[in-house]
Chains A and B, each alone.
Chain A
Amino acid sequence: MSPTTWGWLVLLFPLLGTITIGLGFRTYSRAAGVIGTAAIGLAFVCAVGALIALLGRTGAHREVTSTLWNYDVSSGVDAGLQILVDPVSIFMMLVVTGVSTLIHLYSTAYMRSDEGYSRYFAYLNYFVLSMLILVLGGNFIMLIIGWAFVGAASYLLISFWYRRSTATGAGIKAFVINVLGDVGLVLGTFFIFRHTHTVSFLGSFHAAPHVFHTDSADLVAGCLLFLVGAFAKSAQMPLHTWLPDAMEGPTPVSSLIHAATMVTAGVYLIVRLHPLFQIAPTAGEVGAVIGCATLLIAGTIALVVTDIKRVIAYSTMSQIGYMIMGASAGAYSAALFHLMTHAFFKALLFMAAGSIIGAMAGSQSLDKMSGFRRAMPFTFVCFIVGGLALSGIPPFSGWVSKDDIIAYMNNRGGVYEVLGILGYVGALLTGLYTFRMIFRAFFGDPSPEAKELEGGHIAHAHTPTNPANGEEEDTEVGFPGPEHVIAEREPAMKVAMGLLALLALIGGFLQLPGVDHVITNFLGSSLADAPLAAAAHEPTTTSAWVGLIIGAVIGLVGITLAYSIYVRRPGTAAKFQAALPWLHRFLVNKWYFDEAIDLVIVRPALAIGRFTETVLERIVISGGVTGGVTGAVRSGSAAVRRAQTGVLRYYAAAVILGLSAVVLYFLISST
């Protein structure tokens, strides 16, 4: 079968899954989990089929498009339901469907006691469908459609426990910021379309070098707008404030959407549109700078946050900063490689976090967790594997991929070298905050929950509370279910986490410098037209290995620092906090981004809204326009009513007057 047929099948199965579970949510209670997982599993199988079909071709034949039907061929827009199957999209498909299958498997156990079980799987399948539309899209229209759909799915899943006010607020925040990105995406498309007169990717890419010169204004504007979209979706500065709040959603949702797939859509966007970014280096520079800034800022905030899921969220933000930085600079295959490994170990970390949150009866605060090492050995191992991969310790996958990016940046020189060095600083911070989290949660004296678990009994809170603001809640629909699950007792969770841990361990070997270049070779055909990705820019093997060793050392330094602060001398952190309270406050308040956005955007918008309502709506429109019209009608009819005096003689006079007028008219018209 041709690759595009496999591509359509990949889209078909999650669609069927969504529709089946969505429409039959009353009939399916437990079956929804099976159906959902099976749908994504089948999609993964078809993605593998597409890969095999594509491997049989070479060169330009590896870019295959297929259009089901045309939406609109009028007004010069050639929008069709078109997919493009090429190495980049197959790569993304495999990552998305593979990790999604494992997360679906994990969710069948994790969400077991939730009343909204089938709703959850319908939404999750819908999300995977949207993400696949996004990566498979063959023209800008499909990209925008997928982009908007994943935003909607993210909203639905963040506010999944909709009776929690914090969850719904977080969902709205995420959606609003994502819409901002959508606007950027659509406007960027328009800027490009104006010159290339086609919305299909391949058409635009072939036309781009001819219609744009380097750094032409429209192209830079378009690429900057695309970057706005990428930043909103991938939670880069300054549109990143939604990601920590998005942790209100269930943990599998966080691991799927906000670690492995949706937030990587920005990276995919830059890699997919690389022919345009090649011609507009300014936009690339902007992207790289913002990516670097984000990875540093997020790293510093992760050092002080106490909610375990938010630590992992900021770590996600930071790692995606690496990817955006790399993709903007031209390290396309390195960025995608890091995307893949990051998906593995970040999903694993989130799954393990879900397990320990279950052991804590829903509480997510690091302040309350300690000493779970003996009570939860499997979770501990998963955390260690994920943490080592994240910190970039050999031989784990994160080590190879992260340093792949940094080596490329250093090789490019100039401002990119500076960014690369800052990337090493970020790596130090990564090791530090990751193992801060691990040491605090698993080392030290066991907390009461840990002791209960060692006794073989999962702790249960007396009354269920919202971990974000502590208010009491129920266990009905719209709230988390009453049961808490931990990985040690659920085979489904163990299988999923185990597979991911294995992948996090060995995934890096796909692209060891000097040993094998699986990913670069595979992606090479679609990146063939990118001068930046040419072999000349690739770092030499020696410099790559030097970079790898430096990266490993820095990671180890970070871990050792964390060990000494949190395990060997437990009071050190408190001393730091006491010595630099202003710094601590600054970081805990997330660099005051939320307050700044509130001041600059939210309050003026609310003021404009209020003004519009009180002045424009009430006075001008209701009072002036409709009130004026009705008032005019009323006063007009009042004036007319005055003619109805009821006095007979006036009526007679009016009749005779009218008669005179008619006769006069006939007199005049007959002359």
Chain B
Amino acid sequence: MALGWYLAVSVLIFCIGAGGVMVRRNPLVILLCLELMLNAGNLALVTFARMHGGEAGQIFALIVMVVAACEVTVGLGLIVAISRSNLPIDVDELHELNG
């Protein structure tokens, strides 16, 4: 397949993820959509690695995966802490940082 198709898939997944971040209210699901966007980025990176023949894109994709893992870890830790404080798990209700 022409590499443009892979990029198209990547764009689609990225935008679906972005829409999900904006629409969903459960922070867990928002994190999942964030994962979607990261994966879309990974796909694009690997595509470009294939396009140019160098493995830098793949390396970068692995690093992105590491970052995604860490981010999920910390984010889920936050959500656990929030739920343990008996706060509602709803980003619309957690708007303390306003003003």
| A interface residue numbers (CB < 8 A to B) | 641, 644-649, 652-653, 656
Contact = CB atoms under 8 A, between A and B. Distances in A.
A647 B18 contact: no
Contacts of A656: 18, 21-22
B18 A646 contact: no
B84 interface: no
B53 interface: no
Interface of B: 18, 21-23, 25, 27, 30, 91-92, 94-99
Contact of A644 (B23, B91, B92, B98): B98
B99 A647 contact: no
A653 B21 CA distance: 8
A667 to B, nearest CB: 14
Contacts of B97: 644, 646
User: What are the 7 A-B residue pairs with the smallest beta carbon separation, nearest first?
Assistant: A646-B98, A646-B95, A648-B91, A652-B21, A653-B22, A647-B95, A656-B18
A281 B43 CA distance: 104
A558 B27 CA distance: 114
B92 A647 contact: yes
Nearest to B33: A652
Nearest to B20: A652
B99 A649 contact: no
A644 B96 CA distance: 10
A649 B96 contact: no
A162 B18 CA distance: 82
A647 B24 CA distance: 12
B36 to A, nearest CB: 13
Taking each of A641, A644, A646, A653, which has the highest tally of chain B beta carbons within 10 Å of its own beta carbon? Answer: A646
Contacts of A641: 99
B95 A645 contact: yes
Given A653-B22, A656-B22, A648 B99 contact: no
A641 B98 CA distance: 9
B74 to A, nearest CB: 16
B95 A649 contact: no
B91 A649 contact: yes
A656 B33 CA distance: 14
Contacts of B21: 649, 652, 656
Nearest to B25: A649
Contact of B94 (A644, A648, A653): A648
Contacts of A644: 97-99
Contacts of B95: 645-648
A320 B95 CA distance: 87
